[in-house]
Structure 1
Amino acid sequence: MELFTFDDELTAGRIVDRPNRFVVRVRFDEEPERVFLGDPGALEGILEPGREILCSPVDDPDRSTDYDAIAIDVDGTYVSVRAALANDLFEQLLAADALPAFEEYAFRKREPQLPDHGRADFLLHDRSDSPAYVEVKSCTHVDNGIAKFPDRQTERGRRHLRSLAGLVDDGHEAHVVFVVQRPDVDRFRPYREVDPDFAELFAQVRNAGVTVHALATAFDPPQYRLHERALPIDLEA
């Protein structure tokens, strides 16, 4: 199922290195160019020197980089490296009624204020007009067909899980959705080796009533499409 088309120009280059979490140096012709990287994850096995990377030129004199990183070719599969895109993809899928798990829900707003403090990514309402809060996470790490999150330690991710569990304790409905931004995957698992505390908390909040979902998308330039509506969730290490 096609979600949307990336209309901006795409320029292919080769990865040189990654000087910091948000910059990758790319060789297009001669001297390497600094490219903004919107995925602060470790990107182990993805962002490697010599790999092809698709970038979008940006005309903004106030920026220190002239390109955005869009996707990296990993053995013939494009892996989207735009973490914030996961929310847009989820919203597109909601609008298209493409997710059976959410077919009884209507979109209300993005970034709703939580009853206690902080914000969620989405507020939905079910058919009885009861609120349901949704947190969306982008996932790119895949090992032998298993998507794993997070690919580096994430206190922010643990805080989000605790917030969702608190919502359930207060009688609200809460969901977390992992959007795997690559199609070479057949199941999802918390990455216990990288963040054991997240994995333990993941199991606890799931048992406490937070509903967990995982889905997979694909980028076939210039189209983004839905690859798998519901990946199995695996809690084994």
Structure 2
Amino acid sequence: MLITNRIRLAKFIHRPNRFQAFVDIDGEEIIVHVPNTGRNKEILVPGYTVVLREENNPIRKTKYDLIAGYKGKKLINIDSQIPNKVVEEALKEGKIKALKNYNKIKREKTFGCSRFDFKLEDEEGNEYYLEVKGVTYEENGITAFPDAPTDRGRKHLLELVEVKESGKGAGVLFLIQMDKVEYFTPFDERDKLFGEALRYAKNRGVDIFAYECEVGENYILLSKSVEVRL
């Protein structure tokens, strides 16, 4: 996915709340929007370089979105709106091998009372429901989700089990918004219940995928499968 808006680099100063941060652009301190409610404490560190995307919307209170940050030499995208767009692009291009036979791709579809990121169908009409989670936490090559407790995320996993038990396909894809990682694992120290739900879903037949991305300041692309350790 190519980011066509203007990109600026800045120095991170501080984050007063989940949705806003202060950054330094060429010596000027400004406030920007943070499109990610996770902690991201390993990325949003005072003095670290961050990537801003200019938003040309006159009714916005902020001119820029903070979409990525450098952790050393590693660039990590943190935009929570990006994963579904990247996965949709990858599905259309057949990059996710286990799902390449599903040629009908629909966004934000319901099953029963649940809404999932994708509903996929193949030529025979077989249905597959896919939920996507963006991963931004990394330490020594190990990536994990979630970086903050998520009751909503756990609920999605249990709902996918219901889909699977109905005879339809079900899976969750963890999109790791960086490259060159070792493996993915649930972040039990941050949310034990999510980890338990993920293992339960796996045992009940729900597919667990993890893919890393090729990331640049103005693009992000799903690249290759990553080992999942539960």
TM range (shorter): over 0.9
1:204 is matched with 200
Aligned-pair identity (%): 30
Counterpart amino acid of 2:229? D
- The alpha-carbon deviation at position 231 of structure 1 amounts to 1.0
Q: How does 1:157-176 map to 2 (within 5 A)?
A: 157-176=153-172
Q: Does 1:148 align with 2:144?
A: yes
Q: Contact (CA 8 Å) 2:87, 2:222: kept in 1 or not?
A: no
In structure 2, the residue corresponding to 1:112 is in which secondary structure? Answer: strand
Q: Does 1:35 align with 2:32?
A: yes
1:233 is matched with 228
Q: How does 1:178-189 map to 2 (within 5 A)?
A: 178-189=174-185
Q: Does 1:6 align with 2:3?
A: yes
- The alpha-carbon deviation at position 223 of structure 1 amounts to 3.1
Q: 2-side partners of 1:102 and 1:171: how far apart?
A: 16
Q: Does 1:214 align with 2:210?
A: yes
Which stretch of structure 1 is more off in the superposition, 26-35 or 86-95?
26-35
Q: How does 1:81-92 map to 2 (within 5 A)?
A: 81-92=78-89
Q: 2-side partners of 1:173 and 1:158: how far apart?
A: 18
Q: 2-side partners of 1:108 and 1:217: how far apart?
A: 21
Q: 2-side partners of 1:87 and 1:42: how far apart?
A: 20
1:195 is matched with 191
- The alpha-carbon deviation at position 101 of structure 1 amounts to 1.3
- The alpha-carbon deviation at position 44 of structure 1 amounts to 2.5
Q: 1-side partners of 2:185 and 2:193: how far apart?
A: 14
- The alpha-carbon deviation at position 152 of structure 1 amounts to 0.4
Q: 1-side partners of 2:19 and 2:212: how far apart?
A: 24
* Structure-1-length-normalised TM-score: 0.93
Q: Contact (CA 8 Å) 2:172, 2:207: kept in 1 or not?
A: yes
Q: Per-residue displacement from partner, 1:70-122 (whole Å, max 9, x unpaired)?
A: 211111121101111000000111111112111121233100111x2031000
* Larger fraction in strand: 2
Q: Contact (CA 8 Å) 2:104, 2:122: kept in 1 or not?
A: no
In structure 2, the residue corresponding to 1:123 is in which secondary structure? Answer: strand
RMSD across aligned positions (CA):
1.3
Q: 2-side partners of 1:49 and 1:10: how far apart?
A: 20
Q: Contact (CA 8 Å) 1:78, 1:218: kept in 2 or not?
A: no
In structure 2, the residue corresponding to 1:200 is in which secondary structure? Answer: helix
Q: Contact (CA 8 Å) 2:5, 2:55: kept in 1 or not?
A: no
* Structure-2-length-normalised TM-score: 0.96
Q: 2-side partners of 1:132 and 1:57: how far apart?
A: 36
- The alpha-carbon deviation at position 143 of structure 1 amounts to 1.6
2:106 is matched with 109
2:134 is matched with 138
Q: Per-residue displacement from partner, 1:147-183 (whole Å, max 9, x unpaired)?
A: 1000000001011111111111222211100000000
- The alpha-carbon deviation at position 50 of structure 1 amounts to 0.5
1:94 is matched with 91
In structure 2, the residue corresponding to 1:120 is in which secondary structure? Answer: strand
